[in-house]
């Protein structure tokens, strides 16, 4: 049997190597040509706006982080507060570096397309995404390894892991919701003002909202999504490690091939295993990124689909041969395979419901009779997708539980780790999307020849699909992760109650507090959904008014003889995002604390269950309905319905549907998914404090 410490060190080595690869890609991107002066100037506006938003957001988050650090230091000790800050800072660092790479890669992708090389443009966009993907996975594992290495075998390990996870979760919530409000306010505002009021093309350089829209792609779909996936990986690993720390030692013996091993040795295996598997997943992802780059001459859709499907298969094969080396049963491989392959299947299902297949075509066809029928059909497609996707997630959980029934939710936790083990390549493919989208925008605003836009449009079309797949993956993994966190919370509470000589927590549905908690948890996703939709609507309205003012007051703007003022639009979107992200953050962090300390641990358990059931369904519905509306509009634009092209009544109806779908898929849906994760992680952190209530 190989030493566990050696294998956890492999995770550290893989993470450091991953960061090195990220640096290599970053430097490679920076060395590429930017194109002509106009391209460089427009790219500079986008980069400047993205970094300005990030700096403004970080100032708000600094106040929040210092406040939570003080509270945690008071309640759990200064060390817990420090690990909270480490989790938060690593998340911010990943977002910052990823954003820098994406805003460098966009114009260089456009320049590669201008040279006529679709393959080079594809690789440049992928390298830009890879910096984000590798930083997210590597920094999260380095942080978790540090906590594990410092506190391994000590009673403080659980508390420090939970504190680190709360730091990651909090930043993810604000980054995802803030970025989502920004990007969709700018997108919707620019679309309404440009396509509907002024009747000008998308990405028209006369539209002052276009730069803000391109900025939004980065702050929402690169930095925001990166923080989301970073938090998911951390939460899945922490949840599984927490179950290993508090589970019944007799049950844990079913994890290993030799049940006669010492209890402490078996528990150490259960705690280290998620970290080791994530390290193997990162190594596989790095290999997958290089394989993907070698396929650059294939069709972009084939390349990116292979990037999503191959790594899970390789991970399962490697796990089958590696697990026996440290005496772990192959039932772990089954649970891991369920999560890894389930994640790929969720991606393919999401592609079916949001790509140019039957569901999206039905949404496009419905636009022929107006915006109302388009909205109705898009909602129907979104609802149907929830049924299929959640059944698949339930199937993954069933398989994991079947393979590792003696271990309770530990197997489901491992399936979540399996789904997220390929985080680096999933995030690479996801971040590729906004880089390609920005490249198309830069090409249009710079007046590059149509053949350049043909290349960037093809890359962007694939990027839209991969972005939708990424959202489905993020929500699916969040659902499994929250199931594991729920179990970890229950074990933590009962462990503390047992130490105090109390009876275990009663989770029967006949318990009034459980039912009350279920109702409270069920309404919280609606609060977050409503507040984020309202924020996007208000900000988009303000942006439309500002764009209209510029067209009316700047002489020559409509004729293309004067420059717009994009900074005003960037300012409106930034202010809206920073002010409106506060309420969802308070709900996610304060909600569990209030319920737990006022009504006790059983009521909080009910709240988590209610939020999980409603939040998982709502976030999938919003993400997939939004993706369907978006691609129905694009399907019409590409001539999918003969006689109904751009600027037709059918297209205008689809634009209205897409306007509804934009905040669904990029703001409210992801925000609700993060809500349920943050609530669960915060509950796990305070479990010991409320256990005896």
The token duo for 641 is 């319905």
Query: How is residue 643 annotated by DSSP?
Result: T
The Cα-based distances of 618 to 359, 369, 383, 384, 439 in angstroms read 19, 27, 9, 12, 32
The Cα-based distances of 308 to 21, 259, 501, 515 in angstroms read 19, 37, 49, 40
Residue 502 covered by a domain: no
CB 350 within 8 A of CB 385: yes
The rounded distance, in Å, linking the Cα atoms of 82 and 470 is 31
- Across 101-110, 184-193, 428-437, the highest mean pLDDT is recorded for 101-110
pTM for the full predicted model: 0.91
pLDDT for residue 90: 93
Write the CB contacts of 311 (distance below 8 Å, at least 6 apart in sequence).
281, 284, 285, 287, 288, 422, 425
Among the listed residues 73, 89, 92, the one whose alpha carbon sits nearest the alpha carbon of residue 81: 73
Helices (H) and strands (E) in the chain, counts: 22, 0
Average pLDDT over the chain, rounded to an integer: 89
Residue 285 covered by a domain: yes
Among the ranges given (176-180, 299-303, 489-493), the one the predictor scored with the smallest mean pLDDT:
299-303
Among the listed residues 553, 559, 652, 450, the one whose alpha carbon sits nearest the alpha carbon of residue 206: 559
Which segments of 247-354 does DSSP mark as H helices, in order? 249-252, 263-294, 300-322, 331-354
3-state secondary structure of 609: helix
Q: Which residues pair with 328 in a beta bridge?
A: 256
The token duo for 607 is 């709240």
pLDDT for residue 2: 54
3-state secondary structure of 240: helix
pLDDT digits (tens, 9 = 90+) for 475-533: 888 888 899 888 889 988 988 898 888 988 988 888 899 999 999 999 999 999 999 99
Write the CB contacts of 598 (distance below 8 Å, at least 6 apart in sequence).
none
The token duo for 518 is 């279920």
Among the ranges given (132-136, 270-274, 405-409, 574-578), the one the predictor scored with the smallest mean pLDDT:
405-409
Instruction: Kindly tell me if the per-residue pLDDT of 124 is higher than 90.
Output: yes
What one-character-per-residue DSSP string does 428-461 give? HHHHHHHHHHHHHHHHHHTT--HHHHHHHHHHHH
The rounded distance, in Å, linking the Cα atoms of 603 and 591 is 12
The rounded distance, in Å, linking the Cα atoms of 550 and 209 is 10
Mean pLDDT for the stretch of residues 614-637:
92
Between 683 and 7, name the one with better pLDDT. 683
Instruction: Using the structure block, give the residue that is written with the tokens 């706006």.
Output: 49
Residue 62 covered by a domain: yes
Instruction: Kindly tell me if the per-residue pLDDT of 539 is higher than 80.
Output: yes
Write the CB contacts of 194 (distance below 8 Å, at least 6 apart in sequence).
200, 201, 202, 204, 207, 209, 210, 547
Domain that holds residue 480: 8-495+511-690
Distance of alpha carbon 457 from its chain centroid, rounded? 24
The rounded distance, in Å, linking the Cα atoms of 316 and 304 is 20
Q: How confident is the model at residue 49 (pLDDT cuts 50, 70, 90)?
A: confident
Contacts 24+ apart (CB under 8 A), 75-79: 75/689, 76/159, 76/163, 76/685, 79/156, 79/160
Mean pLDDT for the stretch of residues 426-434:
88
pLDDT digits (tens, 9 = 90+) for 268-287: 888 999 999 999 999 999 99
Could you count the other beta carbons within 10 Å of the beta carbon of residue 473?
Answer: 28
Burial (CB count within 10 angstroms: exposed 0-12, middle 13-18, buried 19+), residue 556:
exposed
Instruction: Kindly tell me if the per-residue pLDDT of 390 is higher than 90.
Output: yes
The rounded distance, in Å, linking the Cα atoms of 270 and 158 is 13
Among the ranges given (58-67, 71-80, 201-210), the one the predictor scored with the smallest mean pLDDT:
201-210
Percentage of the chain exceeding pLDDT 70: 99
The Cα-based distances of 648 to 192, 202, 225, 454 in angstroms read 15, 15, 34, 22
pLDDT digits (tens, 9 = 90+) for 9-28: 999 999 999 999 999 999 99
The token duo for 634 is 């694009």
The rounded distance, in Å, linking the Cα atoms of 463 and 663 is 18
Residue 3 covered by a domain: no
Q: How confident is the model at residue 465 (pLDDT cuts 50, 70, 90)?
A: confident
Mean pLDDT for the stretch of residues 106-114:
93
CB 131 within 8 A of CB 97: yes
Write the CB contacts of 48 (distance below 8 Å, at least 6 apart in sequence).
none
Instruction: Using the structure block, give the residue that is written with the tokens 């269950």.
Output: 609
Mean pLDDT for the stretch of residues 568-595:
87
Which segments of 367-422 does DSSP mark as H helices, in order? 371-403, 410-420
Instruction: Kindly tell me if the per-residue pLDDT of 93 is higher than 70.
Output: yes
Residue 506 covered by a domain: no
Residue 414 covered by a domain: yes
Give the largest CA-CA distance in the chain.
84
The rounded distance, in Å, linking the Cα atoms of 564 and 551 is 8
Write the CB contacts of 497 (distance below 8 Å, at least 6 apart in sequence).
503, 504, 505, 691, 692
Which segments of 115-156 does DSSP mark as H helices, in order? 118-151
pLDDT digits (tens, 9 = 90+) for 639-654: 889 888 887 899 989 9
Among the ranges given (373-382, 516-525, 580-589), the one the predictor scored with the smallest mean pLDDT:
580-589
Query: How is residue 664 annotated by DSSP?
Result: I
CB 216 within 8 A of CB 457: no
The rounded distance, in Å, linking the Cα atoms of 478 and 545 is 38
The Cα-based distances of 356 to 350, 352, 454 in angstroms read 11, 8, 18
Among the ranges given (138-152, 253-267, 519-533, 561-575), the one the predictor scored with the smallest mean pLDDT:
253-267
Write the CB contacts of 352 (distance below 8 Å, at least 6 apart in sequence).
359
Instruction: Using the structure block, give the residue that is written with the tokens 């318990």.
Output: 511
Helix (H) or strand (E) holding 669: helix 669-690
Exposure class string for 277-288: b at 16+ Cβ within 10 A, else e: bbbbbbbbbbeb
Our CA angle for 344, 310, 28, nearest 5°, is: 110
pLDDT for residue 305: 77
Instruction: Using the structure block, give the residue that is written with the tokens 């083990």.
Output: 421
Residue 501 covered by a domain: no
Number of domains the chain contains: 1
pLDDT for residue 693: 80
The rounded distance, in Å, linking the Cα atoms of 482 and 142 is 22
Instruction: Using the structure block, give the residue that is written with the tokens 């890894």.
Output: 340
The token duo for 132 is 């984000």
Distance of alpha carbon 604 from its chain centroid, rounded? 25
Residue 2 covered by a domain: no
3-state secondary structure of 641: coil
pLDDT for residue 1: 43
Between 308 and 592, name the one with better pLDDT. 592
**What sign does the dihedral 640-642-646-652 (CA atoms) show?**
negative
Mean pLDDT for the stretch of residues 575-594:
87
Write the CB contacts of 45 (distance below 8 Å, at least 6 apart in sequence).
211, 566
pLDDT digits (tens, 9 = 90+) for 245-273: 888 877 888 888 887 777 788 888 889 99
The Cα-based distances of 630 to 208, 417, 465, 617 in angstroms read 22, 31, 10, 20
Mean pLDDT for the stretch of residues 340-353:
86
């Amino acid at each position: 049997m190989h030493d566990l410490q050696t294998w956890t060190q492999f995770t550290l080595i893989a993470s450091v190597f991953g960061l090195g690869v990220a640096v290599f890609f970053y430097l490679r991107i920076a060395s590429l040509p930017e194109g002509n002066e106009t391209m460089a100037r427009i790219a500079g506006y986008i980069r400047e706006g993205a970094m300005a938003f990030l700096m403004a957001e970080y100032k708000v988050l600094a106040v929040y982080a210092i406040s939570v650090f003080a509270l945690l230091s008071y309640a759990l000790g200064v060390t817990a507060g420090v690990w909270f800050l480490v989790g938060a800072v690593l998340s911010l660092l990943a977002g910052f570096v990823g954003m820098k790479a994406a805003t460098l890669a966009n114009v260089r992708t456009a320049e590669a397309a201008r040279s006529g090389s679709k393959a080079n443009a594809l690789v440049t966009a992928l390298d830009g995404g890879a910096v984000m993907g590798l930083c997210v996975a590597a920094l999260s594992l380095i942080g978790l390894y540090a906590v594990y290495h410092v506190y391994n075998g000590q009673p403080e390990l659980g508390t420090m892991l939970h504190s680190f996870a709360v730091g990651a979760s909090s930043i993810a919530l604000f980054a995802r919701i803030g970025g989502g409000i920004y990007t969709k306010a700018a997108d919707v505002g620019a679309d309404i003002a440009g396509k509907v009021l002024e009747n000008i093309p998308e990405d028209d350089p006369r539209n002052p909202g276009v730069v803000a829209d391109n900025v939004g792609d980065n702050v929402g779909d690169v930095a925001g999504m990166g923080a989301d996936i970073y938090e998911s990986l951390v939460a899945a690993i922490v949840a599984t490690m927490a179950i290993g720390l508090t589970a019944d030692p007799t049950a844990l013996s079913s994890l290993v091939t030799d049940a006669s091993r010492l209890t402490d040795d078996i528990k150490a295996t259960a705690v280290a295993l998620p970290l080791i598997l994530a390290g193997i997943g990162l190594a596989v992802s790095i290999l997958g990124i290089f394989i993907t780059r070698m396929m650059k001459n294939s069709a972009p859709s084939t390349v990116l689909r292979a990037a999503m499907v191959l790594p899970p298969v390789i991970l399962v094969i490697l796990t089958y041969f590696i697990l026996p080396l440290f005496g772990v049963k192959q039932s772990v491989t089954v649970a891991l395979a369920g999560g890894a392959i389930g994640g790929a299947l969720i991606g393919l299902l999401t592609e079916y419901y949001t790509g140019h297949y039957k569901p999206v075509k039905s949404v496009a066809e419905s636009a022929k009779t107006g915006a109302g029928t388009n909205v109705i059909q898009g909602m129907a497609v979104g609802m149907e997708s929830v049924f299929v996707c959640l059944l698949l997630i339930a199937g993954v959980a069933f398989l994991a539980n079947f393979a590792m029934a003696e271990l309770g939710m530990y197997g489901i936790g491992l399936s979540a780790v399996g789904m997220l083990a390929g985080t680096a390549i999933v995030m690479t493919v996801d971040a590729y999307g906004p880089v390609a989208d920005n490249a198309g925008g830069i090409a249009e605003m710079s007046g590059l020849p149509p053949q350049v836009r043909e290349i960037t449009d093809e890359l962007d079309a694939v990027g839209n699909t991969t972005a939708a797949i990424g959202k489905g993956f993020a929500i699916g993994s969040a659902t499994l992760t929250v199931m594991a966190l729920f179990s970890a919370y229950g074990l933590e509470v009962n462990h503390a109650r047992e130490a105090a000589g109390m009876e275990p927590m009663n989770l029967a549905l006949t318990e009034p507090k459980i039912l009350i908690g279920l109702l409270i948890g069920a309404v919280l996703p609606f609060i977050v959904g409503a507040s984020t939709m309202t924020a996007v609507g208000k900000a988009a309205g303000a942006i439309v008014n500002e764009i209209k003012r510029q067209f009316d007051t700047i002489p020559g703007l409509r004729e293309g003889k004067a420059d717009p003022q994009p900074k005003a639009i960037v300012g409106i979107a930034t202010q809206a995002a920073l002010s409106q992200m506060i309420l969802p953050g308070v709900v996610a962090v304060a909600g569990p604390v209030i319920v737990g300390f006022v009504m006790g641990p059983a009521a909080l358990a009910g709240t988590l269950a209610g939020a999980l059931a409603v939040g998982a369904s709502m976030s999938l519905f919003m993400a997939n309905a939004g993706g369907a509306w978006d691609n129905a509009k694009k399907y019409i634009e590409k001539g999918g319905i003969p006689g109904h092209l751009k600027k037709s009544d059918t297209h205008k109806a689809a634009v209205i549907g897409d306007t509804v779908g934009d905040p669904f898929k990029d703001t409210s849906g992801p925000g609700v998914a993060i809500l349920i994760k943050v609530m669960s992680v915060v509950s796990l952190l305070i479990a010991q404090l409320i256990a005896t209530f």
